[in-house]
Amino acid sequence: MAANVDRAELSGLFTPFRLGNLTLANRVVMPAMGLAVCENGAPNADHAAYYARRARGGAALVMTEGVYIDHPSSGDNPLLGRFHGEHALEGWRAVAAQVHAAGAYVMPELWHVGLIPLVAEVMAGEEVRYRQELGQVSPSGYIAPGRRVCEGMSQAQIDAVIEAYGRGADMARRLGFDGVEIHGGHGYLIDQFLWGELNKRTDAYGGSARARGRFAAEVVAQCRRHLAPGMPIVMRISQWKTIDYAGRIAATPGELEELLRPMADAGVDLFDCSQRRFWEPAFDDSDLNFAGWTKKLTGKPTMTIGSVGLDCDMQASLGAGQEAGCNLASLGELARRFDRGEFDLVGVGRAMIAEPDWAHIVREGRLSALKPFSPSVIAHALRPAA
């Protein structure tokens, strides 16, 4: 990576970008990051102020944390966002209004976790277990590769989840959001369909890569039916999983293209390509990252994300409690890849929690003013804005 970076190199990040019917003021996005501070799924006033503060700090687009769609097994953590129920929805309406007042666009990240183990059990090395009381669903009943714990989803169950995503998109429109992001990565329900290790279906939703992408495409199409014309749909995808950092939905570019083509054709406007480290190549024999390959294969705009401006990835800083220092050399690499057209937007996560004015500081070339990230800054970030 380049050792030095100056203001001119990063100037491309501060040019406008058209996304659906939105014109973003720059290319900097605050991505979806779960903070686990909701009250029975509802954000409070400090939570809304937190999102608005990043908008005032220069993010052109703010993604909320993942919000559970209106389906019985979409998720059970009351500290995470819920996108149904009057109390929770009024909280999210306030988030949208405050982000708009601060000068940015905002989208909720619609989320269904599917069949996942308890993180605490995974971290403790315990055997993962199926929580039958939650009615968890998945494409084939696998909670981890090689570990089948229940039956796969019936067509009726698939249809019910797709309809719930549609209700989520409709609610986003009604609450004043500017579009939706669909969480299709990190090992959650949509990703469980995409990942051949967990999708063992032999019907129209499994087998070939294109068939594994069908469920995601049908979710996109349903959301599109509920949004106003021009409202953008963003699809978050990843290779890595919370249960398997080395997991891959596609072993080759050809397989990735077959997976993503149905989603692109169904109406995705932008792919949010999550990597642990944005500078790492997605496949052998090319230095293109995951966002670069996705853009090349689908022709759709992409956003890159993964340790932007920091020197260690999310798992190290959040899981192990390691401080993530500023890595200015990585910003030079970011600029190099952006200038060659590898991606269109940049998601700045932990670095923007630590420094809400990240976009303004980088635009002004005051890189030495950027702050490192540590888990302790999350509590500080959620205090009322000064």
What SS3 class is residue 234?
strand
Q: Is 60 left (phi over 0), alpha (psi -120 to 50) or beta?
A: alpha
Catalytic one of 51, 68, 142, 188: 188
Closest CA to 80 of 69, 62, 65, 98: 65
For strands 147-148 and 302-305, give the pairing. Answer: unpaired
Is 68 an active-site residue?
A: no
Q: Report d(CA 116, CA 75) in Å as an integer.
A: 10
Length of the chain: 386
**Helix H or strand E encompassing 345:** strand 345-347
Joined together, the tokens standing for residue 48 give 């809304």
Phi, psi of 130 (to 5 degrees): -85, 125
Q: Report d(CA 190, CA 194) in Å as an integer.
A: 7
Residues catalogued as catalytic: 188
